[in-house]
Amino acid sequence: MKKTVLFMLALAAGFSACRPGTGGHSSNADSTASNVFHAYTLRFADAALKQWPDFATGAGYHAYDTVLVIPGKAQQAADLDFVKAQLDSLASYDTTKLDANNLTDYYLIRNQLQSTKWEISTQKSFEWDPGTYNVSGTFATLLNEHYAPLDQRLQSFYVRLANVPAYYEAAKTLVNNPAPELQSLAIDQNLGGLSIFEKDLADSLHQSTLPDSLQKNILARAKTAAAAIRGYADWLKALKPAQPRSFRLGKALYEQKFQYNIQSTFTAAQIYDAAVARKQYLHGEMAKISRQLWPRYFGQQPMPADSLELIGRMIDTLSTVHVKPEDFQHAISEEIPRLEAFIKEKNLLYLDASKPLVVRKEPAYMAGVAGASISAPGPFDKNGNTYFNVGSLAGWPKEKAESYLREYNQYILQILCIHEAIPGHYTQLVYSNQSPSLIKSLLGNGAMVEGWAVYTEQMMLENGFGNNAPEMWLMWYKWHLRTVCNTILDYSVHVNNMSREDALHLLTKEAFQQQAEAEGKWKRVSVTSVQLTSYFTGYKEIINLREALQARQGKDFNLKAFHEQFLSYGSAPVKYIREQMLK
């Protein structure tokens, strides 16, 4: 029996801060109006979770685990009807009477609805990105997450399997003139997920107590599903459009997507200009440090006159110290407790020791986009594992592995762990799931999330992590250049038609990346858009906010208090957090 609303009301009551009015208030805030709107946000969340069951499962709410929606015109029409109905509901609320927390929720809901409408009506990536269609992720959640007894999860898995063949048949009718790069990735990722329906499922069934007859039925249905996945991949391999669509988004779509996805006070063009200026600043600082370090590492050798060559020589030298390929994941595991101890020693931020962080090999169905990432439980699964996904170097040619490990050398590996884990993504997501707002947990802003991770890298070094060694600062500047050049690259490729050759030159010669890393980033920019700008945009907005508060508070500014207050607003766009913190 569906008890979603009651469940969320109980969940909300569990957060003392969830009561409307506990955040900042607008001058005309009305507690009754805020209470009424807060009740609407719960109804909206209930309806959205039902409308998008994959989204619900990903958020840790499992009432709709058995539902696999068949893509198509009917589904799109239903989504547009949902958007219209919810926008009509939003229009009935007077935003001048909402307190700050509810006002932010209003903006987040509106943006999500408008973004959904834009995707269906304008961007239409469901036509040219075949990777839109991949069932593996949710099925993996059903197998791997221990939110319910294994037998129960396997039965949900079984029911959900029934629609897999129809799902992929529908996908074939929707894909039209795909971009070749996205076509190739869709093939790899769909095939990469087959183990979920074969070996992984068989292993789980072996551990279950389900009757043999039901286990046979599950395996038979899974075999049919796996055949449908292979059939879709084979169909994509055979698909040869006469004039394939470019993966480049183009200026108009890019600016629109930037506004919906990033939700910044900046335009895409403005943040691109800011990134170009930041790159120039970083080059200047890196040249100063390289001149300082040159005698220590090169003795009396002549110093290159060209500053970029000088920086590159120094970085190449410092990059030679790194772990062995087989020790990469273990080295990351060892770094986590060191970071926790430093944060406690410096009193930078409260860390919840009860939340698990599991370092694991990156699952095959996620492979091909990023070398390291965080997968965190949603707001309905607060006790679930947070995974630090680490790409495996197994089977890599020696030269490619060496290039990758020089990129993630002994300095950068520490910074990677700050960014992805503590006090970066892992820590922020723990706070987000304790947010006073369910909407902010469900509709988290990527630029805030990525910006926080980038900000913490700088903050940790500012507070003495790495013993303030010039080598550490040089390598962080180099790492930070990657954040900056993510924005430059993404905008240049999708708006300014930057070539692969020029992109690799930017990344290797001006951002000092290893060839393997640069080629991986080119692959990423050819299968994603806008997301790469989230790092620098969020970082810049957080730094601007901290500087504004420092200027206002002077000697009373407290860094730990700033961090905890900032994170307490959940994964909201920084521009809305800024409004509340500067009141």
In the three-class reduction of DSSP (H, G, I as helix; E, B as strand; rest coil), residue 32 is classed as: helix
Alpha helices in 193-305 (DSSP H): 194-197, 199-207, 212-238, 251-262, 268-298
Q: Note the pLDDT of residue 487.
A: 98
Percent of the chain scored above 90 by pLDDT? 77
Taking 90 as the threshold, does the pLDDT of residue 204 lie above it? yes
**Model confidence over 44-91: pLDDT tens digits?**
999 999 999 999 999 889 999 999 999 999 999 999 999 999 999 999
Dist. CA 247–CA 526, nearest whole Å: 6
List CB contacts of 342: < 8 A, sequence separation 6 or more.
460, 465
Q: At what angle do helices 470-494 and 268-298 cross, to 10 degrees?
A: 150
DSSP 363: P
For the record, the structure tokens of 344 come out as 């406690």
Q: Note the pLDDT of residue 43.
A: 98
Percent helix, percent strand, percent coil in the chain, to nearest 5: 70, 0, 30
Q: Note the pLDDT of residue 359.
A: 83
In the three-class reduction of DSSP (H, G, I as helix; E, B as strand; rest coil), residue 445 is classed as: coil
Partnered with residue 390 across adjacent β-strands are 361, 372
In the three-class reduction of DSSP (H, G, I as helix; E, B as strand; rest coil), residue 375 is classed as: strand
**Model confidence over 341-374: pLDDT tens digits?**
999 999 999 998 777 788 888 777 666 544 678 8
In the three-class reduction of DSSP (H, G, I as helix; E, B as strand; rest coil), residue 528 is classed as: coil
Whether the CB-CB separation of 5 and 41 falls below 8 Å is answered with no
Rg for the chain, CA atoms, rounded? 24
Dist. CA 201–CA 58, nearest whole Å: 19
Q: Note the pLDDT of residue 369.
A: 47
Q: Note the pLDDT of residue 506.
A: 98
Q: Note the pLDDT of residue 570.
A: 87
Strands (E) across 318-385 are located at 357-361, 372-375
Q: Note the pLDDT of residue 318.
A: 96
Amino acid identity, residue 556? D
Burial of residue 579, with CB atoms counted within 10 A of its CB: 0-12 exposed, 13-18 middle, 19 or more buried: middle
Dist. CA 130–CA 458, nearest whole Å: 38
Dist. CA 422–CA 336, nearest whole Å: 7
Q: Note the pLDDT of residue 356.
A: 72
Dist. CA 359–CA 335, nearest whole Å: 11
Whether the CB-CB separation of 333 and 359 falls below 8 Å is answered with yes
**Model confidence over 242-282: pLDDT tens digits?**
899 999 999 999 999 999 999 999 999 999 999 999 999 99
Q: Note the pLDDT of residue 28.
A: 60
Partnered with residue 388 across adjacent β-strands are 359, 374
HSE-up of residue 219 (Cα within 13 Å, Cβ side): 15
Q: Note the pLDDT of residue 7.
A: 33
Q: What is the mean pLDDT of the chain?
A: 91
For the record, the structure tokens of 403 come out as 């290039």
DSSP 16: G
According to the per-residue pLDDT averaged within each range, which of 9-18, 37-46, 380-389 is highest?
37-46
**Model confidence over 463-477: pLDDT tens digits?**
999 999 999 999 999
Q: Note the pLDDT of residue 380.
A: 73
Whether the CB-CB separation of 428 and 449 falls below 8 Å is answered with yes
From residue 180, give the alpha-carbon distance in Å to each of 228, 247, 497.
Answer: 21, 8, 16
Partnered with residue 358 across adjacent β-strands are 387
Dist. CA 568–CA 575, nearest whole Å: 15
Dist. CA 240–CA 134, nearest whole Å: 20
Whether the CB-CB separation of 386 and 358 falls below 8 Å is answered with yes
Q: Note the pLDDT of residue 366.
A: 65
> What residue segments make up the domains of the chain, in order of their start?
4-123, 130-238, 261-581
Q: Note the pLDDT of residue 4.
A: 33
Whether the CB-CB separation of 387 and 374 falls below 8 Å is answered with yes
pLDDT band at 29 (very low <50, low <70, confident <90, very high): low
Taking 80 as the threshold, does the pLDDT of residue 1 lie above it? no
**Model confidence over 491-533: pLDDT tens digits?**
999 999 999 999 999 999 999 988 888 999 999 999 999 999 9
Predicted TM-score of the model (pTM): 0.85
Dist. CA 59–CA 56, nearest whole Å: 5
In the three-class reduction of DSSP (H, G, I as helix; E, B as strand; rest coil), residue 353 is classed as: coil
Dist. CA 200–CA 365, nearest whole Å: 13
For the record, the structure tokens of 278 come out as 């930041």
Whether the CB-CB separation of 106 and 98 falls below 8 Å is answered with yes
**Model confidence over 3-28: pLDDT tens digits?**
333 333 333 333 333 333 334 444 46
For the record, the structure tokens of 302 come out as 């002549």
Strands (E) across 376-482 are located at 386-390
Dist. CA 485–CA 276, nearest whole Å: 8
**Model confidence over 431-466: pLDDT tens digits?**
887 776 889 888 989 999 999 999 999 999 999 999
* Residue 338 parent element (H or E): helix 328-346
Dist. CA 502–CA 492, nearest whole Å: 10
Whether the CB-CB separation of 457 and 413 falls below 8 Å is answered with no
Q: Note the pLDDT of residue 186.
A: 98
Q: Note the pLDDT of residue 433.
A: 75
Least reliable range by pLDDT among 210-224, 321-335, 535-549, 566-580? 321-335
pLDDT band at 377 (very low <50, low <70, confident <90, very high): confident
For the record, the structure tokens of 463 come out as 């507070």
